[in-house]
Copies of this chain bind each other. A is one copy, B any other.
Amino acid sequence: MKRPTIADIAREAGVSKGAVSYALNGRPGVSPATRERILAVAGRLNFHADSNARALAGAKARVVGLTLQRPPSTLGVEPFFMELISGLELELSRRSYALLLQMTPGRDEEVAFYRRWLSEGRVDGVLVCDVRTGDSRIAALEELGLPAVVIGPPDVSGSLPSVWSDDAQSMVEAVEYLAALGHRRIARVGGIVEFAHTAIRTAAFTGVCERLGLADAVTVPADYSGDSGARATRRLLGAAHRPTAVIYDNDIMAVAGLTVAHELGLSVPGDLSIVAWDDSPICRLLHPPLTALTRDIGAYGVAAAQLLLAAIGGATATSTHGAPAHLSPRGSTAGPPAPA
């Protein structure tokens, strides 16, 4: 059978097409009895309105877009994005929205997709990840007037609503924990320097170490890849006054750090304590299991989808704070080695 249209339903229910549209969209203009009859027919025919016709006639497309930069192969390894997408879809599906996913080589191409999606009428709004300070995408979106939500710190999201949590607070928790264990030389292997949340973490790390009077609180920049994490770790552990604890900005680099420590004959946590930001199943599987900063990334996705749908609906959405990552102490952290 051909795909049924509202005309078919109107005929079967003995009403006009307009009435069918009102009934289907839950609008006033049809009596309860008529509405019920129409919905019954639509249900029996398993009717779904053509989304192209709907969007063309002025309704929403019911699609939101997500662009992701294809980085040097770290994307597939970090669970972050898949967990985020899971959360997004949980909320989007509930509201009958679909997700358009687009990988791009860089930020300029992301903006080009925003423009194109808007011109093509493909999406009602977009989600923005991996925000940098002065990110060109924010201004472009503000100018385009395309509803958008930033998944990142509010201070770089301009007038766009954002979803993020207080990374500074989590960093303080991690450093204070290590200090309480007795560590005095704590280092950090950081994420991509340009990302706004990296700057926040770095500032918090430096600040708390100063407050606690910890010297040598150095941050070595890296790019989330295992190789970069390994390189940074070798550099730290090869120094004269090597740190007794290292905090990594993602789990992949922490895994690499653990391996480098083993290579160098250092025991973890006996000679070196390790903390990973962003917990993942891998952290729990290692030997020793990694102490990690755990957060519910799926919940970010749910919150971001809610904000975006609200913005699409015309509400002035306000930024949301998720629960900050909290420390999950495991076997990779202990007191520092006794002074030789």
Interfacial chain B residues near A119, Cβ < 8 Å: 3, 46-48, 50
Interface of chain A: mostly helix, strand, loop or mixed: helix
Q: Is A179's CB within 8 Å of the partner chain B?
A: no
How many copies make up the complex? 2
A329 to B259, CA, bound (A): 18
Q: A86-B76, A119-B46 are in contact. Are A252 and B100 (CB under 8 A)?
A: no
Chain B, residue nearest A298 (CB): B76
Give the contact stretch, choosing among A192-200, A278-286, A311-319, A332-340: A278-286
Interfacial chain B residues near A48, Cβ < 8 Å: 115-116, 119-120
**Most chain-B CB neighbours within 10 Å: which of A47, A81, A119?**
A119
Interfacial chain B residues near A118, Cβ < 8 Å: 3
Chain B, residue nearest A51 (CB): B120
In the complex, are the beta carbons of B282 and A252 less than 8 A apart? yes
Give the contact stretch, choosing among A19-27, A53-61, A125-133: A53-61
Interfacial chain B residues near A252, Cβ < 8 Å: 281-282, 285
Per-position contact with B for A104-139: 1 when CB-CB < 8 Å, else 0?
A: 000000000001101111100000000000000000
Interfacial chain B residues near A90, Cβ < 8 Å: 103
A145 vs chain B, min Cβ distance (A): 11
- The 8 A-B pairs of least Cβ separation, nearest first, read A76-B79, A76-B82, A48-B119, A52-B55, A52-B52, A51-B120, A52-B56, A226-B285
